[in-house]
C-alpha cells in the first residue's frame, strides 16, 4: 500500500506529538463566527449565544469500519468527518465545529496522516465546519479515528427520533442500498486480487455505488430544503445502519407502528442492477445495508402538498398506531413485519 | 488477568451494539439542567444560554497510555474521564457533560466493559458531569478510550494559556512528580513479576504515588478556590506532560520568559524519597514526569496577598520578558534553561 512503501517516507516520530499537531493544523483558517478559540489551548471555546449546542461522536476503526486495501486515506478522512456531520443533520441542524482524535501505529508515515487530514479538511471546507481540536496518539496496531462534531440549532428546529405520531408521512432523502452494494463490489475485487495478485480490479461502471461507499455525503442540503419548504419534520434519524434499523428506532422510540411500501423505497438503477448481479434482493439491500447517510424523517400529513413532487424526497409510507406493528407491504399486497438485520459490527477475535 | 479469565464471563457479542449501549447507560440520571437530551438520539443537546461552550478530547490507548497488567479497569475508566475534566479545569471552568467512545476486541468481556464504565460513572458522579453520548465499536486488537468533555463558562472567566505577562507570579496547585514515581514503582514490580511469576508485588508504603498514577483527580476545586479568592489567573494550563513542557507552552504562547526556583517546586515527601530510591533527581521527576493533572497558572502580582499562605497553592517563580529566557534557578543560584523532556508517546512498532 502506498502509505507503507512510499520512497519519500517521513517518520511521524521525527516530529513528536506537538510537532505533528502543529504540522497538521497550522494552515487552519476559522470559518465560523461561533468559533472563539480553535486548536491551541486545553479546550476549544464556542459561542452559540441563544442556540442549543448539539454534540455527537462516531468512531471509525481499521478492520471494522474500513479496509485500507481498498479505501484511499483521503476518502477515509472525508468519510470520518461526514458520517459525524450526518448525526447533526439528523437533528435537523447543521454542523459547525469538529474535533478529531487519531491513534495510529508506526506503519503510517507522516504522508499517510497528511492524506487523512486532507480528506478531513476537504469535508470541513465543503460543509463550512471548523476543526477546533483533537488528539493524536500512537497505537500498538491499527488506525483509529474518533471525530466529535458540534452543531447548533434553535430549540424549535431540533428534531428528535422519538416524536413521530400516527398518520405522519414517512419520507427518505436520495436513494438507499448503494453504499452497501459498493462495498460488495470492493470486497469481490479484493477476493479476486487475493487469488490472483496480478489481476487488475474491474470497477468500471460502478462509479456511483463506489462513491456512495467511499465518499458519502451528509444531507445538510435536505435540512436547508426543509426549511425552505417550511416543513418541520416530526421526527428524524440518519440512515447509517440500514432503513429497517432506523425505522425500528423511530417507531419504538415514538411508541408507534408504521407501514412502508416495498415499491416506494428509492433504489438507484445501478444499485438495483448490481444487487441482481450479486443475486441479492434490492429491497433487502436497501432495508439492511447501511452507510447511505440519507435522512429518514416523518412529517405531519398536512405537509403533504409541500413535500410531494420534490425530486430529492420520497414518501415511502406512513406512521400507524403501535398495535399495527412495524410492517413492509409488498407489491402484491402482502404485509411482513420489519426486523433489524442492520449492519452490526461483530467483535473480532484478537 | 481478571477480565480474561472470569468464570461468569458474558460475551459482548451476545448483546449487540445497541444492546451494549442500552445495558451500559440505562441507569443514567441527568444531573445538570444544561443537559437537554442525553444518550438516545443522533446527538446530545445542551443549553448553555449566554455562557460559552468549552470542548476538549484526550484519547487513551492500551499499550501507550495504560498497561492493563497493573491498571484496574475501574481506575482506567475513572482516569479516562478525569484527564478530560482536567482540560476544562485548565480553562478555569468546570466540566458538565461527557461523551465516551470505546473500541475493544473480544478479549474483553461484558463484565470488563462494565468495570470501565463503573469508573467513568464514579468520576461523573464526583464531578457532577452527565454522560450524554458516545460510541462503542469492536477493534481487531486492544482497547481505545476516546472521551470528549464539554464545559461552560462566562467569557470573562475563561483563562487561556497564551495570556501571561511579565511580572506575573507563577503558581502551581498540589504537588508534582508523584504520578511519574508511581509509574516507576508499578513498572518495577511488573519486571520483577516477569522474572519470577510467583512473586507478590510489593507496593506497601507507596499508596500516595500509586494513587497519583492510577486515580488522578482534576483540580476543579482549585477553580472554585480561585473564584472564592477573587483571583482571575492571567493564564492557565494543566500539568499533563510535565512542568517543563507546560511552562514552555505558557511562555512561548504568551511570548514571555520565566524564572522558576528549584527549591519552590512542591514535591511530596513520598515522591522525593522514592525518586532517591530510584536514583533519580526529584526536581527532574517534577519537571519531566507528567500526569499529575495539577493546574499551573499565572496571576497578576497585585494578587500576591490573596494567594500567599493558601495551602493548596505554591508560588514557584515569576514571568519575565521574553529576552530573559525560560529558566530554572537552583538552590545555589545557578540558572539553567528549561527544555521540554515531557512524556511524549513514542510510536510503537507494529
- Tens digits of per-residue pLDDT, B158-200? 999 999 999 999 999 999 999 999 999 999 989 888 888 887 7
What is the dihedral angle through the alpha carbons of A15, A16, A18, A20, rounded to the nearest 10 degrees?
Answer: 50
In a domain, B128, yes or no: yes
A135 chain-B contacts, CB cut-off 8 A: 57-59, 146
Q: What pLDDT score was predicted for residue B341?
A: 57
Asked if residue A23 has pLDDT above 50, the reply is yes
Please give the Cα distance from B130 to B101 (Å, whole number): 15
In a domain, A346, yes or no: no
Please give the Cα distance from A318 to A161 (Å, whole number): 15
Please give the Cα distance from A315 to A305 (Å, whole number): 12
- Residue A100's nearest CA partner among A53, A143, A157 is A143
Minimal CA separation from A102 to chain B, in Å = 8
Best probe of the B interface among A50, A54, A57, A152, by most B CBs < 10 A, is: A57
pLDDT band, residue A229 (cuts 50/70/90): very high
Q: Scanning every residue of chain B, which has its alpha carbon at the shortest distance from the alpha carbon of A53?
A: B46
% of chain B surpassing 70 pLDDT = 95
Picking from A126, A153, A180, the residue at the C-terminal end of a domain is: A153
pLDDT tens column, A243-273: 999 999 999 999 999 999 999 999 999 999 9
Question: Residue B208 — φ and ψ, nearest 5°?
Answer: -60, -50
Q: Scanning every residue of chain A, which has its alpha carbon at the shortest distance from the alpha carbon of B54?
A: A45
- Whether A107 sits inside 8 A of B46 (CB atoms) is no
Place of cell 402538498: A305
Question: Residue A316 — φ and ψ, nearest 5°?
Answer: -110, -5
- Whether A144 sits inside 8 A of B149 (CB atoms) is no
Q: What pLDDT score was predicted for residue A342?
A: 40
Interval B318-326 mean pLDDT? 97
**Under a CB-based contact definition with an 8 Å cutoff, are residues A202 and A189 in contact?**
yes
Instruction: Say yes or no: A192 and A135 in one domain.
Output: no
| Widest CA span in chain A | 66
Average pLDDT, chain B: 90
- Whether A47 sits inside 8 A of B56 (CB atoms) is no
Rounded to the nearest 10 degrees, the angle between the axes of helix A73-89 and helix A220-228 is 30
Minimal CA separation from B85 to chain A, in Å = 10
**Under a CB-based contact definition with an 8 Å cutoff, are residues A148 and A56 in contact?**
yes
| Widest CA span in chain B | 65
Asked if residue A284 has pLDDT above 70, the reply is yes
Asked if residue A99 has pLDDT above 50, the reply is yes
- Residue B231's nearest CA partner among B306, B160, B172, B161 is B306
Give how many domains chain A has, as a whole number.
2
Distance of CA A88 to the CA centre of its chain: 11
- Residue A243's nearest CA partner among A295, A193, A187 is A295
pLDDT tens column, A74-87: 999 999 999 999 99
Q: What pLDDT score was predicted for residue A346?
A: 32
B233 chain-A contacts, CB cut-off 8 A: none
The three cell numbers locating residue B110: 461484558
Please give the Cα distance from A123 to A112 (Å, whole number): 17
Interval B262-288 mean pLDDT? 95
Handedness of CA B208, B213, B217, B219 (dihedral sign): positive
- Residue A246's nearest CA partner among B43, B42, B12 is B42
In a domain, B3, yes or no: no
A65 chain-B contacts, CB cut-off 8 A: 137
Picking from A124, A153, A182, the residue at the C-terminal end of a domain is: A153
pLDDT tens column, B91-143: 999 999 999 999 998 889 888 999 999 999 999 999 999 999 988 888 988 99
**Under a CB-based contact definition with an 8 Å cutoff, are residues A212 and A294 in contact?**
no
Instruction: Say yes or no: A101 and A218 in one domain.
Output: no
- Residue A227's nearest CA partner among A168, A174, A161, A159 is A159
Please give the Cα distance from A40 to A214 (Å, whole number): 31
pLDDT tens column, A160-193: 999 999 999 999 999 999 999 999 999 999 988 8
Q: How many CB pairs under 8 A join A and B?
A: 250
Q: Scanning every residue of chain B, which has its alpha carbon at the shortest distance from the alpha carbon of A92?
A: B42
pLDDT band, residue B2 (cuts 50/70/90): very low
**Under a CB-based contact definition with an 8 Å cutoff, are residues B171 and B314 in contact?**
yes
Report the residue from A11, A54, A345 with minimal CB separation from B138.
A345
% of chain B surpassing 90 pLDDT = 70
- Whether A54 sits inside 8 A of B45 (CB atoms) is yes
Interval A213-233 mean pLDDT? 97
Asked if residue A225 has pLDDT above 50, the reply is yes
DSSP calls for A257-273: EEEEEGGGS---HHHHH
Taking residue B229's Cβ as centre, other Cβ atoms within 10 Å add up to 14
pLDDT band, residue A3 (cuts 50/70/90): low
Question: Which segments of B72-200 does DSSP mark as H helices, in order?
Answer: 73-89, 110-127, 178-195
Instruction: Say yes or no: A134 and A182 in one domain.
Output: no
Interval A337-343 mean pLDDT? 68
Question: Residue A339 — φ and ψ, nearest 5°?
Answer: -120, 155
Asked if residue B23 has pLDDT above 90, the reply is no
Picking from A119, A153, A187, the residue at the C-terminal end of a domain is: A153
Instruction: Say yes or no: A205 and A330 in one domain.
Output: yes
Average pLDDT, chain A: 90
The three cell numbers locating residue A67: 479496509
In a domain, A218, yes or no: yes
Q: What pLDDT score was predicted for residue B348?
A: 36
On the 0-12 / 13-18 / 19+ scale of CB atoms within 10 A, B336 is exposed
Q: What pLDDT score was predicted for residue A348?
A: 36
Please give the Cα distance from A201 to B204 (Å, whole number): 62
Instruction: Say yes or no: B264 and B297 in one domain.
Output: yes
- Give exposure, A218-228, as e/b (b: 16+ Cβ within 10 Å): bbbebbebbee
Instruction: Say yes or no: A173 and A262 in one domain.
Output: yes
Question: Residue B230 — φ and ψ, nearest 5°?
Answer: 60, 40
The domain spanning residue A101 has which CATH number?
Answer: 3.30.1330.10
The domain spanning residue B281 has which CATH number?
Answer: 3.90.650.10
- What's the pTM value of the predicted model, to 2 decimals? 0.91
- Whether B146 sits inside 8 A of A151 (CB atoms) is no
pLDDT tens column, B245-273: 999 999 999 999 999 999 999 999 999 99
Asked if residue A205 has pLDDT above 50, the reply is yes
Domain that holds residue A131: 16-153
Q: Scanning every residue of chain B, which has its alpha carbon at the shortest distance from the alpha carbon of A135?
A: B58
Please give the Cα distance from A115 to A6 (Å, whole number): 13
Asked if residue A13 has pLDDT above 90, the reply is no
B101 chain-A contacts, CB cut-off 8 A: 57-59, 146
Minimal CA separation from A150 to chain B, in Å = 9
**Under a CB-based contact definition with an 8 Å cutoff, are residues A20 and A113 in contact?**
yes
Instruction: Say yes or no: A185 and A115 in one domain.
Output: no
Minimal CA separation from A18 to chain B, in Å = 9
Instruction: Say yes or no: A173 and A314 in one domain.
Output: yes
Q: What pLDDT score was predicted for residue A6?
A: 56
% of chain A surpassing 70 pLDDT = 95
Q: What pLDDT score was predicted for residue B6?
A: 56
Minimal CA separation from A59 to chain B, in Å = 6
Instruction: Say yes or no: A213 and A148 in one domain.
Output: no
Best probe of the B interface among A46, A47, A55, by most B CBs < 10 A, is: A55
pLDDT tens column, B31-90: 888 898 888 888 888 988 888 999 999 999 999 999 999 999 999 999 999 999 999 999
The three cell numbers locating residue A203: 470497477
Asked if residue A227 has pLDDT above 80, the reply is yes
Instruction: Say yes or no: B183 and B135 in one domain.
Output: no
The three cell numbers locating residue A247: 425505522
Q: Scanning every residue of chain A, which has its alpha carbon at the shortest distance from the alpha carbon of B89?
A: A42
pLDDT band, residue B344 (cuts 50/70/90): very low
Q: What pLDDT score was predicted for residue A16?
A: 75
Please give the Cα distance from A209 to A218 (Å, whole number): 16
Amino acid at each position: 500500500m502506498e502509505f507503507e512503501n512510499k520512497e519519500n517516507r517521513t517518520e511521524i516520530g521525527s516530529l513528536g506529538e506537538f510537532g505533528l499537531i502543529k504540522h497538521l493544523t497550522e494552515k487552519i483558517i476559522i470559518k465560523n463566527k461561533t468559533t472563539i478559540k480553535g486548536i491551541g489551548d486545553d479546550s476549544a471555546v464556542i459561542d452559540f449565544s441563544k442556540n442549543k449546542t448539539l454534540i455527537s461522536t462516531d468512531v471509525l476503526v481499521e478492520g471494522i469500519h474500513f479496509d485500507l486495501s481498498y479505501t484511499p486515506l483521503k476518502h477515509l478522512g472525508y468519510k470520518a468527518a461526514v458520517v459525524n456531520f450526518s448525526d447533526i443533520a439528523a437533528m435537523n441542524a447543521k454542523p459547525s465545529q469538529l474535533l478529531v482524535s487519531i491513534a495510529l501505529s508506526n506503519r503510517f508515515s507522516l504522508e499517510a496522516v497528511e492524506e487523512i487530514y486532507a480528506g478531513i479538511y476537504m469535508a470541513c471546507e465543503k460543509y463550512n465546519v471548523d476543526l477546533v481540536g483533537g488528539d493524536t496518539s500512537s497505537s500498538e496496531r491499527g488506525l483509529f479515528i474518533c471525530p466529535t462534531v458540534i452543531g447548533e440549532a434553535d430549540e424549535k428546529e431540533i428534531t428528535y427520533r422519538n416524536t413521530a405520531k400516527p398518520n405522519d408521512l414517512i419520507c427518505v432523502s436520495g436513494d438507499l442500498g448503494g453504499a452497501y452494494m459498493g462495498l460488495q463490489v470492493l470486497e469481490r475485487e479484493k477476493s479476486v486480487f487475493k487469488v490472483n495478485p496480478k489481476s487488475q480490479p474491474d470497477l468500471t461502471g460502478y462509479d456511483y455505488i463506489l462513491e456512495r461507499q467511499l465518499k458519502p455525503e451528509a444531507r445538510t442540503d435536505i435540512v436547508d430544503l426543509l426549511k425552505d419548504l417550511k416543513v418541520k419534520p416530526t421526527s428524524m434519524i440518519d440512515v447509517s445502519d440500514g432503513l429497517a434499523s432506523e425505522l425500528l428506532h423511530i417507531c419504538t422510540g415514538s411508541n408507534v407502528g408504521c407501514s412502508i411500501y416495498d415499491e416506494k423505497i428509492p433504489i438507484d438503477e445501478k444499485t438495483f442492477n448490481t444487487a441482481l448481479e450479486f443475486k441479492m434482493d434490492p429491497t433487502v439491500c436497501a432495508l439492511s445495508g447501511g452507510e447511505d447517510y440519507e435522512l429518514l424523517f416523518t412529517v405531519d400529513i398536512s405537509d403533504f402538498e409541500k413535500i410531494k413532487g420534490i425530486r430529492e424526497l420520497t414518501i415511502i409510507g406512513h406512521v400507524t398506531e403501535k398495535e399495527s406493528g412495524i410492517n413492509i407491504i409488498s407489491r402484491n399486497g402482502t404485509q411482513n413485519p420489519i426486523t433489524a438485520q442492520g449492519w452490526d459490527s461483530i467483535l473480532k477475535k484478537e
